[in-house]
Each structure stands twice: as structure tokens, then as C-alpha cells.
Amino acid sequence: MTGLLSTAGAKPVEPTAGRSATTTATTERPDDDLRPRAEAALARAREHLLSRQQPEGWWQGELETNVTMEAEDLLMRQFLGILTPAETDPTARWIRSRQHPDGGWATFYDGPSDLSTTIEAYAALRLAGDGVDAEHMVRARDFVLANGGIERSRVFTRIWLALFGEWSWHRLPAIPPEVVLLPSWMPLNVYDFACWARQTIVPLAIVRAQRPVRPLGFSLTELRTGARPPRAPSLRGRAGWLHGLDAALRGYERRPIGLLRRNALRRAAEWVVARQEADGSWGGIQPPWVYSLLALHLLGYPLDHPVLRTGLAGLDRFTVREETPDGPVRRLEACQSPVWDTALAVVALADAGLPAEHPALVRAGRWLIDEEIRVTGDWAVRRPGLAPSGWAFEFDNDGYPDTDDTAEVLLALRRTAPGPQVGAALERGLRWLCGMQSRDGGWGAFDADNTRTLARSLPFCDFGEVIDPPSADVTAHIVEALCAEGMVRSTAVLRGVDWLLRAQEPDGSWFGRWGANHVYGTGAVVPALVAAGMRPDDPVIVRAVQWLHRQQNRDGGWGEDLRSYRDQYWLGRGASTASQTAWALLALHAAGVGDSAAAWRGVHWLVQTQRPDGSWDEPHYTGTGFPGDFYINYHLYRLVFPVTALGRLLDAAGTRDASTDVVAGTRSTEANIGIPSAGGDIVGIPSAGGAVGVLPTGGGAGS
């Protein structure tokens, strides 16, 4: 876990919010007016959240990322010959508005400027007609040159430059399309990569094989430093022999075997076309989407072909347009999260006191039921005998249900009005979740046993995570969902809890794969372990609570800067945010210290910072796409998580804690259903009264 982090470089400045002196779980009742103020804040937030629901029953907040989305959209349109001022002008206005004083562009709010992001933004603004002598362009160019120029940009940026002749295809790592021919048991076949990576690699392999060059309309030589490429790594290590393999493959790229290459391109095209979603996207995410459009176009698909026409039209659904004082702007979401947002909203509103029969929850439950995926996807390569089910992140990415969304949907459906459809969907979802458990006991997001770390060392994999191993946050959400269905003593839960105990960091926290970062991981794991029957006074829980107390800011909130993925100094440090404060409060509540001084100081921070409309400001990004490289600001996080935390802490529903019901087994719907294990065997999941084993009460890392 912490091996992913680096302490290299100068020590950053202490976050202005500072650290808290609170390090013990002392109990302190709130002052006389804080509880009613907190209840009023919860009521405002609840009403605001209800007002955001769509008539069909779903919620969706914007997913804000960085300007590479807009820059690459303009570059793609230029390459396809369809770029018009209608896209260029408002997009360029948005890109300019995101520039930092140092001339660069960052990958997250208040983060450091990033070289590759800046190069792509600069190229897009040149497309928009911005002159090289314009003040903002001079600052951007100076930043690029000071940080190594084009020569030090990431591989994907240089691929975009190669499309326009600004970089040599022969100087890029090899991605041979023949990879699609490798059987699934062979190392480095496409299914060794995470779903988002494989969907990017296959179309990129087609593009790389074609080595196209089309006019950009200008040169970017002003961004070159003339620096020589870095020296090749020693052949004695993994990086060295993979570098040697890449050199051999690049040699093959110059003279591929004709019949083999033609077959590979045909199979790759079929693979790409088969994975287009109903909305025109690929996986509902930007990188495979744009590369698939480019790849199929290069193979001869005309722009009016149904696949390309649907793909290009689908981008409009991911486009955000708004008016600003400087004029209209246009930006793109890298993905969308209606299923995730809806499930979180249902849980939040239920925790805030809405009954299961409330019309908003009924509508949401019906919509979620309809979103269940009943077709087989790529996950079946590793789990061929598993019946399909699950829920995806977005409206239409049916090829890629994920375990995290599925777990949250199951938790949400249990909070809506029961019915035969709900019960059947819960049973199918439970079977699928248990079948997706990896051999080590944890869960990845999209695939089981997607753990071949060799893939990370390939020369072209220099941007973002390319595999989908089990993570603490996903595993915790699934354990919590299974426990909510009375499976506390099931084999799946016992193995999941054991994985979580092994994953605890020495400082008491857990790494957060899909949210920032250890605050997110810890906020997910503590409620799951307590739901699974772990006592709040267990050393594992105590260490986690102590870590949260140490990380509380002086203002009462919690925050963690995204730089914590690369620099240990930032672990648990950062400006307070509404979502991260809520995650910490959820953990403290689950651990039985929801009445502590630390918890009420967190509640006070939420009350003090709430907007008049019931929401919270949160410019900081707290969502993670790729640790260390790509981040997301989920605009609904700032609302759903504070509602959940305040609802639980204030006990707005007037009922006992949900974990008590779970441990007592009063919610069981799974009596003796058969769940395929990782090895394909059927594991009997007993009812809550049947003992399968003894739940560990300690033994996590550092105990």
C-alpha cells in the first residue's frame, strides 16, 4: 500500500487548515444550540437533495476532471476533419479559464501544474487561433520548456502529437494489434489489463499499426528542448528486459507478417465494435471512446457509418455547456455516474429519515431495478460459470457492471419499499458479487483476479493504473452490503474481512483506490468491519479512530490532498472538504464514538460551511480515477455524504444503528443460496444463525 508512495522532493507547505490536537476519543456532548443547528442543516440538505432528483427517479452530479478532456476532443475533431468554431471557441474559453499563474494546467484543483496536460492544452489553444506571442501562451511555453518539453511528456500525449507529425511513430513504444490474438491464459493478453486499459489498448494498437499523420495547421517546435531520450534501463531488471522486448516489437512493427497483421487488425476491429455501448461510448469513458473512433475511422469506417455516427453523437450527452461572464464555455465529462449517484442518494435520504415508502425512494428503487445488467461482459473471461447480474456506473455501459456500484445499489434497494422484483434482484446481485471475489479474498472493481503487475511495467503504460486488483474501499463496500443481507458469517464475508485486516496500514488507516485517499479508505472500512461484527474496542478499530483523530484539521473538518498518492507527507492532510469530513464522521459513528468531541467538531464544521441552499462548496477533487495521475470532482459527493453522516450521527430516523440489525441477522434474505467461489465450486452461504467460522477480532497490519 504505502509502497505506492514516494517522499522524494521538497517537503510541501503545511496545509493552512492545520492539524488537530484531538487524539483521543473523549466524549463531549454538543453545546445547547449545535444539535438543533445540525438538525436544521440536515433538513436543508435533505430538501436540496430531493430537489435534485429527476422525474424518472435518478440523480446525477457533474463529474469534473481536467482540460485534457477538452483538448483531446478538439484534437480528435481536427484529425477527423469535423472541427468547427461551434466547438472550438467555447472549449478554448474553458481551457484558458483553468490556466495557473505559472502558465501550466493541473490535473486537479489547487494541484501542481502538469507537463503533459499543459502541452495538450497549449496545442488545443493553438488550434483555436491563440498566437504564440499571446501572454498566456508565452507563460505556458515557458512552463513546458522549464519542465523538459515535449521530450518528457507521457506516452499518450506523444501519441496525440504523432497523429499530426509532431512526434515520430517509431519513437513510441510498441502496441502491436497481435495482442488481441493472445489466449486469455497467456501473460499480457488483453484480459490481463483492467477493463478501462484493455478498451484503450486495443484501439490504440490499431492506430499505432496505421501510423497516420494528418495536418495540424501549425508546428509545435517551440515546445521542444532537444533533450535526448532517457537512457534505457539495465537489462538485469524487469524494466530492462521489457524495454528490450519493446525494441524487438518496434522492429517487428516495421515489417509485420502480412497475414498475421491483417488477421490481428480484423479481430481487433471486431473486438472494438462489439464493445460499443448503446449510448455510442466505449465503457462510458473518454480514452477508449476517442481512440476507438480514430481506430475504426483509420480502418475505413466512414464518419456516417452507424458505429461512428452513434459514437460522435454520443459525445453530446457528456458535454456541459454554460454561460459565464466571459462568454459561453464548453467542457466534457470523462464519464458519468447516475447509478452510483442514485444509490448514494437513496442511502443518504434513508439515513436522513425518509421512510422506504417515500415517493422519492420508491421511484429511485424502480429505476435502479431497471438498471440491473443481465448480459455477460468481459468479467466472464475469469468467471465463465457465473450468472450475469450487477449494476454499472452509468446509464448505458452494460458491458461493464462493477462490484462497487452493485454493492451500493444493494444497500440502497434494501432501503426502498420491498417487493418481489427487489428480492429477486438482491439475490442475483448477491450471487454475482460473491462470484466476483478474487482468490485472495478481496474484490476489484470490474474483474476478478486482475492482478498481473507485470502489465504496469510495460513502456507504454506510463499514465494511470492499468490493472484492477482488489482494493480496501471496494472490498469494504461489498462486505457491508453482504452483511446488510444477513451474510455476516458467510465464507465470502469472512474472507473479505481477513483481506481488510491484512490491508490495514501501520498507521491505522486504509488506502483509498477510488477516493481521496486514506480518509476515503478508512471511512469505508471501519463501517464494514463493524457491520461484520467487529467490536468498536478491537485494536484494529481503535487504531483507525486514533488515526482519524490525529488527522482532523484545526477547523474541525477533514481533508486529504491528492498528492498523498505520491507523497506520504500528504496522507490525511489537506484543506477540509464536506465529503471527506463526512467520510471521517461515518467511521467515527460506526466505531461508537459519534458523540466524541472530534465528531461534534466535524459536525460543527459542516454546519458552519453549509450554503444557504443546503449544499456545500467543494472545489477540491475527492474522487480518484487513476491514483497519482487522474482525478475527479464528483459534484454530488459534497451533498450525499454530509446528508448520510449527519443523518446517522443525529439518528434522524429515530431507529437503532443498522449494524445492530445486521449482526443480529434480522435482515437475512439469503438463506442457503449457493454462491460460486473463486475456484468455481459452490459455497453454501448459511443463514445468519449458521456458524461457518469465527470472525477475527484483530490481527491487522501493525497489530
Q: What is the pLDDT of residue 431?
A: 97
Percent of the chain exceeding pLDDT 90 equals: 80
What is the tens place of the pLDDT at every residue in 450-466? Answer: 999 988 888 888 878 99
What is the tens place of the pLDDT at every residue in 405-447? Answer: 999 999 999 999 877 889 999 999 999 999 999 999 999 999 9
Residue type, 119: I
Mean pLDDT calculated for residue range 272-299: 95
Domain boundaries, the chain: 2-6+22-63+336-436+471-662+671-685, 66-332
Q: Is the pLDDT of residue 651 over 90?
A: no
3-state secondary structure of 637: helix
Distances (CA, A) of 237 to 246, 457, 661: 14, 11, 53
Provide the CATH topology of domain 2-6+22-63+336-436+471-662+671-685: Glycosyltransferase (1.50.10)
Q: Is the pLDDT of residue 702 over 60?
A: no
Residues 1, 508: Cα–Cα separation, whole Å: 12
Is position 404 annotated as part of the catalytic site? yes
Quickly list DSSP for 490-545: SHHHHHHHHHHHHH--TTS----SSBSSHHHHHHHHHHHHHHTT--TTSHHHHHHH
Average the pLDDT over each of 59-63, 73-77, 364-368, 592-596 and give the range with the smallest value.
592-596
Provide the CATH topology of domain 66-332: Glycosyltransferase (1.50.10)
Q: What is the pLDDT of residue 30?
A: 63
Percent of the chain exceeding pLDDT 70 equals: 88
Q: Is the pLDDT of residue 215 over 90?
A: yes
Mean pLDDT calculated for residue range 42-54: 98
10 Å Cβ neighbour count for 48? 17
Which has more pLDDT, 41 or 694?
Answer: 41
Mean pLDDT calculated for residue range 373-391: 96
pLDDT, the chain, mean: 88
Residues 486, 689: Cα–Cα separation, whole Å: 9
The contacts of residue 225 (CB under 8 Å, 6+ apart) are 145, 148, 149, 150, 151
Q: Do domains 2-6+22-63+336-436+471-662+671-685 and 66-332 have the same CATH topology?
A: yes
Whether 637 and 622 have beta carbons less than 8 Å apart is answered as yes
Crossing angle between the packed helical segments 195-210 and 155-162, to the nearest 10 degrees: 30
Residues 394, 411: Cα–Cα separation, whole Å: 18
Q: What is the pLDDT of residue 228?
A: 85
Mean pLDDT calculated for residue range 585-591: 97
Quickly list DSSP for 154-174: -HHHHHHHHTTTSS-GGGS--
Quickly list DSSP for 665-681: TTT---TTEEEE-TTSP
Cell of 290: 476517442
The contacts of residue 636 (CB under 8 Å, 6+ apart) are 52, 59, 60, 61, 337, 341, 344, 345
What is the tens place of the pLDDT at every residue in 516-556? Answer: 999 999 999 999 999 999 999 999 999 999 999 999 999 99
- Residue 158 buriedness (CB in 10 A; 0-12 / 13-18 / 19+): buried
Whether 310 and 280 have beta carbons less than 8 Å apart is answered as yes
Q: Which one from 246, 351, 404, 538 is the annotated catalytic residue?
A: 404
Q: What is the pLDDT of residue 418?
A: 75
Average the pLDDT over each of 44-58, 165-179, 323-337, 685-699 and give the range with the smallest value.
685-699
Nearest to 401 by CA among 424, 363, 431: 431
Residues 619, 630: Cα–Cα separation, whole Å: 16
Q: Is the pLDDT of residue 19 over 50?
A: yes
Q: What is the pLDDT of residue 83?
A: 97
